[in-house]
Structure 1
Amino acid sequence: MRPSDDPGTAVAQLEAWLAADEAPRLLIETSGSTGSPKRVVLTREAVLASAHASARRLRDLGAGEGGRWALVLPSSYVAGVQVIVRSLLAGHAPVLGGWADERGAAAYTSLVPTQLHRMVSSPDDVAALAAMDAVLLGGGPIDPDLRRRAEALGIRVVATYGASETAGGCVYDGVPLDGVGVGLGADGRIRLGGPVVFAGYEGDPELTARTFADGWYLTSDAGRLDEDGRLVVLGRVDDVVVSGGVNVPLPAVARRLRAHPALEQVEVVGVPDEEWGQAVVACYVGDPDLALGLLPDLAALRDWVADELPRAWAPRRVVRLDDLPLLANGKVDRQALVAAASGQDVA
């Protein structure tokens, strides 16, 4: 069964799915943020294992238990499915498209970083989010400054890491949920295991064999364990480009640029280049309160990066955007960014 794109229909589908004696497997299409979408097959056991483990972790964090969830993510993606399932298991129909309805306010929600970035500038959204027990934030890199800003506004943020292939977020603030295993390969590639792992990709046994080994899902992300044993996600394994013979980790460059006071949002990509092989390009949204002439130019941004990182990592070009291109689930569309960085029209 593929959950509907219509939230109300998806709630009805999943309510029947939870009550069925023999429920079909869920078919979740990935966002395709860095390539072609995949069709992930999830068993009911995996989805329930994730939902119950999430509820236990939130309870252990002192965030309350059994509250309603607000659905502001697409209902056909795994994060949206889990919002609906968690709310139904707690005995509540989720709030759809807002923070409250005639039944009352939601106690939890799940967001992607781009959504939170926009919401912290809205007093109404801030008030609603600050009144919740917790806001789960996942689906992409989380800017530490954004998290600090949100928490200073009274919003309780729990950073999650996971994928459609793990029935959603399965590592909360660096600590795996109960029953979830985390491993690191020799190249630092993150592996995730346990009852939340998917059953394979529909119609693609070769990809399943490459990605699903001995009960472990082999992610495309690199990571490390900090001194407390918490998982730190460093970025995608393929987020390192070779530019002028130098390996450049794009997430590190993006993190440095996001600390610039005039830049609202930043993503860094690599594009083919005759001189450099791969050119590092920064795509940014400038502070709307600044006049265009006051925004930093390429030389200033290269100097900003070189103050803390090797100058060879600094961007060779910059592209200013009115907004970052997004996929339907709110994640940044990196394929569209590469097109913009290459000077192509973005649909």
Structure 2
Amino acid sequence: MNASKRLSATVFASGAILVGACGLMIDPDRLVAGQQPETVGAEGGDGSGPNGADGRAPVIDPNCRPSGPEVCDDGIDNDCNGLADCADLGCSAGFVCVDPPPDGWETVLLADHTRPACPAAYTTATDVRVVQGDGALACACDCGNNCGGTITLAQGSSAGCGSATTRGFDANATGCTSTGFGLASGFAQATSDGNACAASDDVVRRNDPTDGRTCAPPPKVGGGCPDAQRCLPRGGSFAMCVARVGMNACPTSGFTKQWRSGTAASDQRECMGCSCDSNPCSVALQLWTHPTCQGNSTLTITNSCAANGSINNVKAYKSSATNGCTQATPSVQQGTLTFENERTICCP
């Protein structure tokens, strides 16, 4: 290579930027760190070098005077590579672009199950009790089944099935169950040995308060982000969220997952109010002459007394007994979950 094509460099007094004769600008941050130089296309160059952390091409200010490595929260292009704060690759490890909080909200870090130390740039730590969601219980009314565990087959010669002979079967035998008997022509009825209904208030879903911690953001924010985003130090194990005093619905976009929080919590929530009605059971006894219940059942006997045909050799059955207890009043939440110094926290 002759002398006219040999790369020459001018070093500014501050040592912040190297400008090559080929029109390339070299980021000194990487030279200091022992990395490969970061080159970006300068005016008159081919523009083939990498862009900033956000993918945008840098705009070099010819009047920029470097003051040292990039400072990520001052809005200034300190190293004069055309990339300030979060746009500079030197800031990508420790800083991130974050959506601004909606009107009336403020940025906050949240750890919802632990209390780790706040990242160094986040100065104010607050120990909180926190619960995911709005604190409402999901309740259910369980009435049980008073139809009992046995079905009784009664057979007589009259339409009322009175003065009948009886035989017992397992209730709710959903699989094919072996048996063996003959059923003469006459009238048959299947009934269950019902018991009283037992109402029970059940909690289907409950989120209990846990120990958490919040951290306030640093007083300074940087630039170099697209649109209205702000350059903030990364939160480590914390979630980057927004907060507002009181109990509030979360914003409809961006920060939509709700936590209620406060410096202390009082939990008086419980499910109450379940009651049940006792009704006649719906009973069905299916009989087969086939030992493995193949094909349609030979005869189905219900809790209505009805005529039946003669079956000389019953070999298997299935049974069900349902609907004996039904809900009269539902189970609903009684009592509330309250917080001292309550704030709603909403996270992505």
TM-score of Structure 1 vs Structure 2, range by shorter chain:
under 0.3
Considering only CA atoms, is the larger Rg found in Structure 1 or Structure 2? 2
Greater RCO (Cα-Cα under 8 Å, separation 6 or more): 2
More helix by share: 1
**Bigger share in strand:** 2
Q: What is the TM-score with the length of structure 1 in the denominator?
A: 0.17
